[in-house]
Chains A and B, each alone.
Chain A
Amino acid sequence: MLIKKRMKVKLFILITIPFLVVLTGCGEFKDIDKMVFVSMIGIDETDDPEKPYKIILKLYVPTSSFRQNPTPEYTYLSKNGKTLAETISILESHLDKELDFGHSKLIVVGEKILQNDNYKEILDFLIRRPDIQMISYFAVGRPNAEEIIKFLPAGETALQPTIFNYFDNNGAESSYIISTFLFDFRRRLKEEGIDPILPIVEMNEPKTHFIINKSIVLADNRPPYELDTDKTLLFKTLSMNAKTIFFAVKREREYFVSRIDSIKSKYNVNVENNKASIKIEMKLAGVITESKNTLSSKELSRYSKMLDEEMKEKVSEFIHEMKREGYDPFGFGLKYYAHTLPKNRMTHEEWLEAYKNADVEVVVKSNLKSTGSIQ
């Protein structure tokens, strides 16, 4: 009898569990063709103080066969609103499918938003929403986000927005493109001692393709500071993200361009008696790729020295400029905090003051291996 009873209990459990499981009705179950995927998110600022944000979503249109339909097709949703979450929830009512941000790889904000210091609020929303990936790229759109989002460059094919290739180092490996992930942007923003840097996305004049070679540095209580193309290159070089750079040297009647493909740079921050000193060491190696004059391979060490001086001059100038304006995208402050015990540390304000007056020493050791021609 006992065995029979036990069997009954087992049977009961075996029957009820599937029922309970199945009767939940697969709440999460949603087929892929009932979702619509966001490709990029654009956020602009409007002039209307009641509805300060304009959200533009670029949505993928799925194609069954890439070969039959290779031209890119997107639909756009845009709406002005007071807060981002509300605006997006209203946008969801414009669609028959569920909005899914899981595949959005790029967030573009208009330049105006940075000027008005609204980006912190935007960032808060982007971080909180679970289906927005923290590995999305974050960029600044010029003149505004909407134009960048809606722009289809020539040669773009379906399903593969070209703009992602600029950032992900699979396509373009340019030394002028800064890629900032959403998580990195947030980290730099929250962390004291390092300032966020964002790429600026522009379009060329007849509007055929994107241009990404400038960047913008943000800092607390200061207007955003734009780095032009050369400075962006120097920043990438110093932060060791550049793979190859081309660097022109013009001195002592020589004028040549070197291709530097091995870059090592490190920096030290020392503080003594509230006086900060920053020491930057760079090791470069490469070849000469272009020259106005005939070069002799016997004089390679002289050319290297010229490259040293040129680089040193440029880098010092760049760092002095950053320091003077009070921007720190390199993370000198963070380095200082990381290397100092808490009891000896200056406060953030003290550090900013010390950084402004810091001594900068740049040491460049370059090694040009060839003049690039056979003699």
Chain B
Amino acid sequence: MSSKVNLSWIASQFEDKNDLIQKKLELDHKQITVLFIKSLIDQELYQKYIINPFFELPTQEQFNLYLFALPQFQEVPSKEKALYFVMEGNVLIEIQDNLYSLDFKLSKNSDVNSTSVETTIHGSELALSDNLMTNINVIRSSYHQPSLMIEYFEKGEVNKPKMALIYDDKKVKRKALESIREKLEKIDMQVITEAPQFNTLLNDQRYSLFPKMLLTERPDRIVYNLAGGKVILLVDGSPQSMIAPVVFFDFMTTMEDNYHTLAISYYLKLLRYIGIFVCILLPGIYIGAVSFSPEVFRTELMLTIAGSRMGVPFTSFVEVLFMLFFMELLLEASIRLPKAISATAATVGGLILGTAVTEAALASNIMVIIVSAVAISTFVIPVNEMAFAIRIVRLILIVIASIFGLAGLTLGFLCFIMYLVNLTSFGEPYLRFYNYRKGNQDSEGQA
């Protein structure tokens, strides 16, 4: 099939002829046909690298050689591929019945963002960008290993975004990589817009509570995890990347842990783990102790709690659920609202939850303290995905504590740990405490 036919086939595929430009240029003995989408290509580059040389170079051979030397130059294997190239922002050139493609994609979203989800005090403030190639550039330029592998592919039948699977070929866990590839094969989705979607797409268990992949926007975390043998998934147009496989303790690490001195980073880690226990257990302990076994408190504390509950019309677990419900509403509301309004919402909510509720004797003073402690400790968990999962676990434990008391809470917590132990992330045990692989130098970044 000749390239002429191919070109007309491609042109016929487009319904909207306004944006598609097909031009035939002839000068002396030189002749080319170009085909591109105007809004997708960088017209300056087009002018500089195609039009100018065409008129300046004397012969067709020289022009061909010149094109061949350009880094954007690509052969076109089939007409379907050619169509895809056009849609990606390439310029198709037909010369002497041969079809070539030149990548002159114009991207306006290639600036790196500043970190907004994983902010730190120490370390880089720059995150990934929305552009895949920029992101790969960022990663490659801070991970200098020839073994770094980048595999491109497309998923999502309708919008077909370009995606990349990145790993260090020497360090990657083969089993996990195979499992990820296998699951990527099975994806059957019409539209994929963001990398976090993989968390559900690559998960076989529909009702799984805990994230099996780590979402990050920080290049340093990506590099750290690449060195640990993990696999990174990037989607064009998404400023976030997914890391797999992960263990529970990855979610409790911030990149800052590596930037502090040992004592400080251990102290901060300790603080974080205490925080997560407080966040999971405190409401349950309150219910269990207040309504089932008041012996566990100190006498003074018990009497103060008993006193502060005087006049509260609800039983302890209704009180806890009531306050937590409003706290969660407040959290949810402040995410959705524009920044200017969310500050007001927080103030109003804080006032209502804080003072008015106790004034009106809808909840005890101690309860307000517990709810705020729980709210604060939720924010201590460094990765958001885990914080969401923990919030749900907390609710389950509250229900268990209000039915079975402190003993039930202990048992429920045990079940929670058993569940975590049972989980795997792409073949890796989820609650793996420490890395048992030999050789410490390649255990960096592995949980």
Interface residues of A (CB under 8 A from B): 21-22, 26, 28-33, 35, 37, 60, 62-66, 100, 102-103, 105, 131, 133, 159-160
Number of inter-chain CB pairs below 8 Å: 72
- Check A37/B294 contact, CB under 8 A, given A26-B403, A31-B315, A31-B316: yes
The 7 closest A-B pairs by CB, nearest first: A102-B295, A62-B307, A62-B306, A64-B307, A33-B309, A32-B290, A63-B307
Hey, what's the 0/1 contact readout for B286-299 against A, CB within 8 Å counting as 1? 00001111110001
Cβ contact within 8 Å between B295 and A29:
no
Cβ contact within 8 Å between A60 and B303:
yes
In the bound assembly, the distance between CA atoms of A103 and B312 in angstroms comes to 23
Hey, what's the 0/1 contact readout for B358-375 against A, CB within 8 Å counting as 1? 000000010000000000
Cβ contact within 8 Å between A159 and B305:
no
Q: For the complex, is B402 an interface residue (Cβ under 8 Å from A)? A: yes
In the bound assembly, the distance between CA atoms of A33 and B307 in angstroms comes to 7
Q: For the complex, is B308 an interface residue (Cβ under 8 Å from A)? A: yes
10 contacts between A and B (CB under 8 A): A21-B403, A31-B290, A32-B305, A33-B306, A62-B303, A62-B307, A63-B303, A63-B304, A100-B294, A160-B300
Q: For the complex, is B20 an interface residue (Cβ under 8 Å from A)? A: no
* Chain A residue with the shortest CB-CB distance to B361: A64
Cβ contact within 8 Å between A29 and B294:
no
Q: Collect the chain B residues with CB atoms within 8 Å of residue A102's CB.
A: 293-295
Cβ contact within 8 Å between A31 and B295:
no
DSSP class of B's interface residues: helix, strand, loop or mixed? helix
Q: Which of B113-169 contact A (CB under 8 A)?
A: none
| Among A30, A65, A133, contact of B295 (Cβ-Cβ < 8 Å) | A133
Q: Collect the chain B residues with CB atoms within 8 Å of residue A28's CB.
A: 292, 405
Cβ contact within 8 Å between B302 and A26:
no
Interface size on B, residues (CB 8 A): 24
Cβ contact within 8 Å between A103 and B295:
yes
Q: For the complex, is B310 an interface residue (Cβ under 8 Å from A)? A: yes
In the bound assembly, the distance between CA atoms of A37 and B297 in angstroms comes to 12
- Check A29/B303 contact, CB under 8 A, given A100-B294, A133-B295: no
In the bound assembly, the distance between CA atoms of A23 and B402 in angstroms comes to 13
Q: Collect the chain B residues with CB atoms within 8 Å of residue A62's CB.
A: 303-304, 306-307, 310
Cβ contact within 8 Å between B300 and A29:
no
Q: Collect the chain A residues with CB atoms within 8 Å of residue B365's CB.
A: 64
Cβ contact within 8 Å between B309 and A32:
yes
| Among A21, A22, A37, contact of B303 (Cβ-Cβ < 8 Å) | A37
Q: Collect the chain A residues with CB atoms within 8 Å of residue B302's CB.
A: 32, 37, 103
Given A29-B291, A102-B295, A105-B299, 9 more pairs with CB closer than 8 A? A26-B402, A32-B302, A37-B294, A62-B310, A64-B307, A64-B310, A65-B307, A103-B299, A160-B300
Q: Collect the chain B residues with CB atoms within 8 Å of residue A65's CB.
A: 307-308
In the bound assembly, the distance between CA atoms of A102 and B302 in angstroms comes to 11
User: Nearest Cβ in chain B — how far from A271, in angstroms?
Assistant: 45
Cβ contact within 8 Å between B405 and A159:
no
| Among B306, B312, B403, B405, contact of A35 (Cβ-Cβ < 8 Å) | B306
| Among B299, B300, B306, B405, contact of A32 (Cβ-Cβ < 8 Å) | B306
In the bound assembly, the distance between CA atoms of A28 and B289 in angstroms comes to 12
In the bound assembly, the distance between CA atoms of A24 and B305 in angstroms comes to 27
User: Nearest Cβ in chain A — how far from B408, in angstroms?
Assistant: 10
Point out which of A30, A62, A133 has the most chain B C-beta atoms below 10 A from its C-beta.
Answer: A62
User: Nearest Cβ in chain B — how far from A39, in angstroms?
Assistant: 8
- Check A32/B291 contact, CB under 8 A, given A62-B310, A105-B299: yes
* Chain B residue with the shortest CB-CB distance to A33: B309
User: Nearest Cβ in chain A — how far from B353, in angstroms?
Assistant: 19
Q: Collect the chain B residues with CB atoms within 8 Å of residue A37's CB.
A: 294, 299, 302-303, 306
